[in-house]
Amino acid sequence: MATSKRYYVTTPIYYVNDVPHIGHAYTTLACDVLARFKRLDGFDVKFLSGTDEHGQKVEKSATEKDIDPQTFTDSVSQNFRDLLGTMNFSTDDFIRTTEERHKISVQALWKRLLDAGEIYLGSYSGWYAVRDEAFYGEGELITDKDGNKTAPSGAAVEWVEEPSYFFKLSSWQDKLLKFYDDNPDFIAPKSRRNEVTSFVSGGLMDLSVSRTTFKWGIPVPGDDEHIMYVWLDALTNYITAVGFPETETGEYATYWPADLHMVGKDILRFHAVYWPAFLMAAGLEPPKRVFAHGWWTNEGQKISKSLGNVIDPIELVETYGLDQVRYFLLREVPFGNDGDFSRKALIGRMNGELANDLGNLSQRVLSMVNKNCEGAVPRHGEFSDADNVMLGAAHGLLNSVREHIDAQSFNEAIETIWLVIRASNAYVDAQAPWKLKKEDPARMETVLYVLAETIRHIAVMLQSFMPQTMERMLDQLAISPEHRSFEFLGSEHALVSGTELPKPEGVFPRFVEEEEGA
């Protein structure tokens, strides 16, 4: 489909020193909903994810397992690729920083920075956290009661002294602040924007962008003694995936600058400070927006390996169902805030909103249609004021939901749809089609038509969040796959009376916990 509307959305590339957990699933899910929504809204979308495979941490982990780093990264990267299928993520590309296309891209960026006079050779002495792959100034460190220094993240730091190339980050302070002023939507949510501008206003030091004390990385062009700092390497993935260093044609010309980089709040500084500075210094456009979401706790506790409370998204899907988990993660907490994961809350949403509100609405309406309208879309007479209010609410969904999606307010987008679901349930109760069956069968058909048409809109709008179950719901309305995009919303594409419908089946069963010992 040829379209002038383009949308490029990226997850961070996930560090292969870990197994996929709820945080990885959460970030990619948000991007997946955006990508699916934009496709339904007529956009030509590119949705990128991948793995970050270089650095000291990876080299160390591979050594501990007595295997070479490439074999180690091949194995762990596959776990992240497998998660895409488990969660039904619709990525268009999966990038690995060990790929040849990425090496070419990063080295080309380095040469542009060097030619622009933005990189110089010096020596680095300072504090480095291997776990964070980050350098920290003395003033940023935390000293415990025993006098040990740690990074603000709690990671151990070590004193490093070695030759290093530096990027002239200090000269970008005023330019970055101007860029933030000129582009107020570049960093979201607003609280994170304040955090970044405060950090930059406090003064920037030149950034060490190469290492010599280990070898697992991309060599600096023309100086093989150095490998590139892992964050310069990793961030470049976003342009590698659109064909950089080719910028005049192909995907770079089509999709860059990216519309949205989705990241966790812990890596915002790299994306909102270093990355735009690297790009502008190389004469390239920065992305349009970086959104930093919050973290999950587990039943009120911080999630950590040592506590043994890491949430496995695959186990959640196997226990509760894929679309139920997708729905809960974006429904429960305002996106951008921290949130607490609770199985009780998940089951509450499943049974209250999915089974009772939406599942029951669809099942009882379509069962009445099947039983009383010869298993076909009902005929309708003139619409009453109540009918027009109900249809108007359904027809008005797209503009409201689109606004929330563009602001990454996923829970608000869902709530907007739920207002119509609740109104539909109230409309059923007020119109009482089971009574009309005896008193006014023609009116009963009109009421059921209004409800079926409303359910069509609800199901189309919820496809981004719950693609599999909404596919089944739309199948039950006999909507052909090519008529499920937003282009077919509204009265001009309404259900056609007399269209034969399949026998309805429930799509959201209630979840009943097994009793212990049962």
What pLDDT does residue 255 have?
Answer: 98
Is residue 300 included in any domain, yes or no? Answer: no
Kindly state whether residues 114 and 181 are assigned to the same domain. Answer: yes
Instruction: Specify if 56 maps to a domain.
Output: yes
Q: What is the pLDDT of residue 121?
A: 96
Backbone angles phi, psi at 129, to 5 degrees: -105, 115
Mean pLDDT of 85-100: 97
Residue 22 has pLDDT above 50, yes or no: yes
Q: Indicate whether 1 belongs to any domain.
A: no
Sheet of 223-228: strands edge to edge? Answer: 210-211, 223-228, 219-220
What's the pTM? 0.94
* Domain at 106, CATH number: 3.40.50.620
Read off the pLDDT of residues 324-380 as tens digits, 9 standing for 90 and up.
999 999 999 999 899 899 999 999 999 999 999 999 999 999 999 999 999 999 999
111 contacts 228 by C-beta, under 8 angstroms: no
Q: Are residues 259 and 398 in the same domain?
A: no
Q: Do 54 and 153 belong to one domain?
A: yes
Task: Verify that 264 and 352 share a domain, yes or no.
Answer: no
Residues 287 and 349 in one domain: no
> What whole-number distance in Å separates Cα of residue 383 and Cα of residue 361?
20
Identify the CA nearest to 468 among candidates 511, 507, 501, 503: 507
Q: Residue 146's pLDDT is what?
A: 82
Are 380 and 482 members of one domain? yes
Choose among 267, 409, 318, 424: nearest CA to 361: 424
Query: CB within 8 A of 391, min separation 6: which ones?
Result: 383, 450, 453, 454, 491
In angstroms, how far is CA 63 from the centroid of its own chain? 33
pLDDT of 12 reads 96
For the chain, the first-to-last Cα distance in angstroms comes to 54
**146 vs 507, more confident:** 507
CATH code of the domain in which 477 resides: 1.10.730.10
Q: pLDDT value at position 3?
A: 66
Q: Report, as an integer, the average pLDDT of 385-390.
A: 98
C-alpha distances (whole Å) from 24 to each of 84, 189, 470 are 10, 19, 24
Q: Which of 244-248, 273-277, 302-306 has the lowest mean pLDDT?
A: 302-306
Cα 264 versus chain centre, distance: 10
- Looking at the fold, whether 268 and 351 belong to one and the same domain comes out as no
Side chain identity at residue 259, one-letter code: D
pLDDT at 188 over 80: yes
Q: Are residues 289 and 382 in the same domain?
A: no
Examine the pLDDT at 508 and tell me if it is beyond 60.
yes
Q: Is residue 229 part of a domain?
A: yes
| Whether residue 406 has pLDDT greater than 90 | yes
The count of C-alpha atoms lying within 13 angstroms of the C-alpha of 208, restricted to the half-sphere facing its C-beta, is 22
Looking at residue 350, its amino acid is: M
Q: For the purposes of burial, counting CB atoms within 10 Å of the CB of 518, is it exposed (0-12), middle (13-18) or buried (19 or more)?
A: exposed
The model's confidence at residue 310, banded by pLDDT at 50, 70 and 90, is: confident
Query: What does each C-alpha distance from 143 to 16, 128, 158 come to in angstroms?
Result: 29, 15, 13
Which residue bears the tokens 């770079």?
252
Domain edge (last residue) among 294, 314, 333: 294
Residue tagged 């200090």 (tokens): 170
Domain boundary among 277, 294, 311: 294
**DSSP conformation letters of 317-340:** HHHH-HHHHHHHHHHSS-BTB-EE
Element (H, E) at 419: helix 410-431
Residues 385 and 272 placed together within one structural domain of the fold: no
What percent of the chain is modeled with pLDDT above 70? 98
Residues 217, 363: one domain?
Answer: no
Angle at 285 between CA 282 and CA 288, to 5 degrees: 145
237 and 134, same structural domain? yes
Are residues 172 and 286 both part of a single domain? yes
Q: What amino acid is encoded at 5 in this protein?
A: K
Going by pLDDT thresholds of 50, 70 and 90, the confidence category of residue 302 is confident
pLDDT value of residue 498: 97
pLDDT digits (tens, 9 = 90+) for 200-258: 999 999 999 999 988 999 999 999 999 999 899 999 999 999 999 999 999 999 999 99
Does residue 299 fall inside a structural domain? Answer: no
Q: Which of 459, 515, 503 is nearest to 483 (CA)?
A: 459
The residue out of 262, 294, 326 marking a domain boundary is 294
| Tokens 């729905």 sit on residue | 327
Distance CA 37, CA 204 (A): 38
Average pLDDT of the chain, as a whole number: 94
User: What domain range includes position 393?
Assistant: 343-493
User: Based on the structure, what is the number of domains in the chain?
Assistant: 2
User: Contact, 14 vs 40, CB < 8 A?
Assistant: no
